[in-house]
């Protein structure tokens, strides 16, 4: 009572919070506001291990005589975690698990253009535009993505794999030559 938004709208607003946790432990932050007030992320009470990166994020509006008190568990993660996986056995009635989106990337755009290098005009120029939520700089996000991609490609780097690929290529060439020789004239 006394809160303008319903629980669903408050949860949607909380999911827009951008937080940075400086620990691998689950931290609990508190929100305790009495009305009348416009509640923003700036009203969250967190210790030094949790930083609110978008303090202007709107959460809800509290009317005269209204009171909102909640605790929010914060942890580091990767990718998307559905609410069902955020549910734990320790949760009591009234606790609401919420899905988590840990990706700091909001949008990526790329453009490939022909470019000239010296007298040659057959080169391509790749332009990347990266938008983040502020928890990481776009350049750092690109560097991290490149490191992840290189690690994935290292699986193909072994000498045995290179030899097998070479053998397959030779077999394919021989098969194509044999097919041409089998053609009727």
Across the chain, mean pLDDT equals 87
pLDDT in tens, 129-171: 999 999 999 999 999 999 999 988 888 776 566 566 666 556 6
pLDDT band per the 50, 70, 90 thresholds, residue 14: very high
CATH topology of domain 105-182: Gyrase A; domain 2 (3.30.1360)
pLDDT at 139: 95
pLDDT in tens, 75-95: 999 889 999 998 888 888 888
pLDDT in tens, 25-55: 999 999 999 989 999 999 999 999 999 999 9
pLDDT band per the 50, 70, 90 thresholds, residue 183: low
Rounded to the nearest angstrom, the gap between the alpha carbon of residue 100 and the centroid of all alpha carbons in its chain is 10
CATH class, domain 7-101, is mainly beta
What are the sequence ranges of the domains in the chain? 7-101, 105-182
pLDDT at 121: 84
pLDDT at 12: 96
Among the listed residues 108, 28, 135, the one whose alpha carbon sits nearest the alpha carbon of residue 71: 28
């Amino acid at each position: 009572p006394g809160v303008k938004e319903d629980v669903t709208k408050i949860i949607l607003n909380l999911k827009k919070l951008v937080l940075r946790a400086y620990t691998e432990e689950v931290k609990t932050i508190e929100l305790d506001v009495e009305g009348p007030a416009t509640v923003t992320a700036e009203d969250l009470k967190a210790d030094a291990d949790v930083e609110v990166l978008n303090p202007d994020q709107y959460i809800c509006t509290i009317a005269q005589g209204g009171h909102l008190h909640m605790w929010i568990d914060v942890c580091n993660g990767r990718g998307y975690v559905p609410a069902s996986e955020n549910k734990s056995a320790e949760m009591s009635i009234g606790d609401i698990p919420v899905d988590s989106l840990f990706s700091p990337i909001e949008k990526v755009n790329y453009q490939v253009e022909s470019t000239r290098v010296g007298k040659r005009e057959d080169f391509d120029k790749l332009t990347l535009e990266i938008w983040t939520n502020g928890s990481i700089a776009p350049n750092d996000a690109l560097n991290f993505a490149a490191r992840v991609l290189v690690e994935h490609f290292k699986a193909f780097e072994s000498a045995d794999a290179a030899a097998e690929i070479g053998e397959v290529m030779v077999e394919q060439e021989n098969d194509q030559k044999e097919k041409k020789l089998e053609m009727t004239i």
